[in-house]
Amino acid sequence: MEISRRDFLRVSGATMGVMLFPSFLKDAKAESYARMLKTKEGTESTTICPYCACGCGIIVTARKWGNKVINTEGNPDHPINEGSLCSKGSALYQIANSDKRLKFVWWRPPNGKRWITIPWFLALIMMAQRIKRTREANFTTEDLSSGRTVNRTEAIAAIGGAALDNEECHLYTKLMRSLGIVYLEHQARI
């Protein structure tokens, strides 16, 4: 029977466990230390820095459970920055973790003089209602002068934020285009 290298590795790996420390040697100290060990799990994924047009690569480390960002660093395998980051890129961690981040939506009611905080679900409902109302009132299927099909609304404009990263911009653009919004801008800068 022909045995592939993979089979060999699987069988020998399973029987041997650790090579440098094979199973016929026991280390009671290491075993008891392993039992008491406090560990944390994490995952790493890549993204692109949102701040300027250079497009530096970043590795984001998050806790496996809870998806909390615990670190951001330059990606050493990215051809543009090879692991280095400017001062703004280095501070990217603060987008996810900062005491100065707004935690609620601030809203000033019509004719009101004061800002009040409202929960996210309410803000989203209010935004959706406004978008729907404006879009339906101003949607054009055909360009009046040329007669071409356009399916757009010129009554809404979208401005992306400087802290939106590559993936967020992608989703944001898709959403806006699907609504027929043509005035689409992003605050990218060098």
The gap from C-alpha 64 to its chain's centroid, in whole angstroms, comes to 15
Distance CA 74, CA 59 (A): 6
In angstroms, what is the minimal distance from the CB of 29 to another protein?
Answer: 5
Residue 27 Cβ vs another protein, minimum distance, rounded to whole Å: 5
Min CB(32)–another protein separation in Å: 9
Helix (H) or strand (E) holding 91: none
Measured in residues, the chain has a length of: 190
Residue found under tokens 């005035």: 183
Q: How far is the CB of 132 from another protein (least distance, A)?
A: 35
- Angle, CA 57 vertex, CA 95 and CA 42 arms, to 5°: 65
Least CB distance from residue 13 to another protein, whole Å?
Answer: 4
Residues 6+ apart with CB under 8 A from 43: 61, 62, 64
Contacting residues for 82 by C-beta, under 8 A, at least 6 apart: 74, 76
Interface ranges with another protein (CB under 8 A): 3, 5, 7-31, 33-34, 37-46, 59, 64, 73-77, 82-84
Closer Cβ to another protein, 65 or 121, answer by number: 65
Nearer to another protein, 89 or 181 (CB): 89
Smallest gap from residue 59 Cβ to another protein (A): 6
Distance between CA atoms of residues 154 and 144, nearest Å: 13
Are 43 and 71 contacting, i.e. CB atoms less than 8 angstroms apart? no
Stated as kind and residue range, the H or E segment containing 186 is strand 181-186
